[in-house]
C-alpha cells in the first residue's frame, strides 16, 4: 500500500505493484485482498482505486495503512485455466483467525465466521480468504479451517497472518445459486399445495 486518501465513509488507494500492472487499462478490475476494485488511474509503478462506503463498511480494507502489504489478483480471462474456484471479489463478510498451527510444511488456520457465511461452507469445498482460493478442511457451527501450502504462504499475505487478525471471506457462488433455486422451487411447490384445497375445488365446480 503506497498511499490512502480517506473520506468520512470512503477512501482512495494507491498501490505499488509490478506484475499486476502488465497490460493494465483504466476501468480494469483488480482484487485487493479479495475485494474487486476498479482501476481509476495508473502509472508505471502503481495504480489507484476508489473504495465506496458499502465496501468500506463490509471489508477489512478500512484497516489498511500506508505500507500494508496486500494480495493482488487480475481478472480471469475466459481463455485461462481455472486453478481453484470462481471468485468474484464480492466479499460476503469478515472472519477472525482464532487459531494458527503449523503441521509439518502446512499452516492450518481456524477462522471464526458469522452463521450467514458458515451455511455455505462445506468440508472439501472452496472458500476465498482475502481473495485466496482455499479448500475447506473442516467446518463446525462456529468456524472452519483451511490449510496453506508453503507456496501460498510465501506468495500471499496469509502466511503472515496471526491469531486475532480479521480476513475477508467470499463463499462459493455455486452454493448461493443452488440455495436460491432450491428455495424458489420449494416455494412454488408449497404454493401449489396451498392453492389446490377444498375451497379451490368447490369454487371451480369439482365438488
pLDDT band at 1, cuts 50/70/90? confident
Q: How far is CA 33 from CA 62, 68, 125, 137, 156, in A?
A: 11, 11, 20, 21, 9
Beta strands in 33-121, from DSSP E residues, in sequence order: 35-42, 46-51, 72-74, 93-103, 106-112
Does pTM top 0.75 for this prediction? yes
Q: How far is CA 26 from CA 39, 159, 169, 180, in A?
A: 5, 31, 27, 35
> Does residue 10 surpass a pLDDT of 80?
yes
Give the whole-angstrom CA distance, residue 26 versus residue 43.
11
Quick one: pLDDT at residue 59? 95
Instruction: For strands 3-6 and 132-139, give the pairing.
Output: unpaired
Task: State whether residue 88 is helix, strand or coil.
Answer: coil
| Distance in Å from the first CA to the final CA of the chain | 74
73-127 pLDDT, tens digit per residue, is: 998 877 777 777 778 888 999 999 999 999 999 999 999 999 999 999 999 999 9
Closest CA to 119 of 130, 127, 129, 109: 127
Give the whole-angstrom CA distance, residue 206 versus residue 158.
66
Amino acid at each position: 500500500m503506497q498511499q490512502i486518501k480517506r473520506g468520512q465513509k470512503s477512501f482512495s488507494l494507491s498501490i505499488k505493484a509490478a506484475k499486476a500492472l502488465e497490460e493494465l487499462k483504466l476501468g480494469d478490475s483488480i482484487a485487493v485482498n479479495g475485494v474487486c476494485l476498479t482501476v481509476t488511474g495508473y502509472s508505471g509503478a502503481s495504480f489507484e482505486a476508489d473504495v465506496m462506503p458499502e465496501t468500506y463498511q463490509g471489508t477489512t480494507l478500512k484497516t489498511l495503512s500506508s505500507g500494508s502489504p496486500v494480495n493482488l489478483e487480475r481478472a480471469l480471462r475466459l481463455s485461462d485455466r481455472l486453478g481453484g474456484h470462481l471468485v468474484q471479489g464480492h466479499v460476503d463478510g469478515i472472519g477472525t483467525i482464532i487459531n494458527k498451527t503449523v503441521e509439518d510444511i502446512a499452516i492450518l488456520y481456524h477462522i471464526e465466521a458469522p452463521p450467514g457465511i458458515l451455511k455455505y461452507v462445506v468440508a472439501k469445498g472452496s472458500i476465498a480468504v482475502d481473495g485466496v482460493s482455499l479448500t475447506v478442511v473442516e467446518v463446525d457451527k462456529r468456524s472452519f479451517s483451511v490449510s496453506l501450502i508453503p507456496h501460498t504462504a510465501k506468495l500471499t499475505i496469509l502466511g503472515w497472518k496471526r491469531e486475532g487478525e480479521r480476513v475477508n471471506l467470499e463463499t462459493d457462488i455455486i452454493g448461493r445459486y443452488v440455495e436460491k433455486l432450491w428455495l424458489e422451487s420449494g416455494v412454488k411447490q408449497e404454493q401449489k399445495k396451498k392453492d389446490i384445497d377444498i375451497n379451490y375445488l368447490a369454487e371451480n365446480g369439482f365438488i
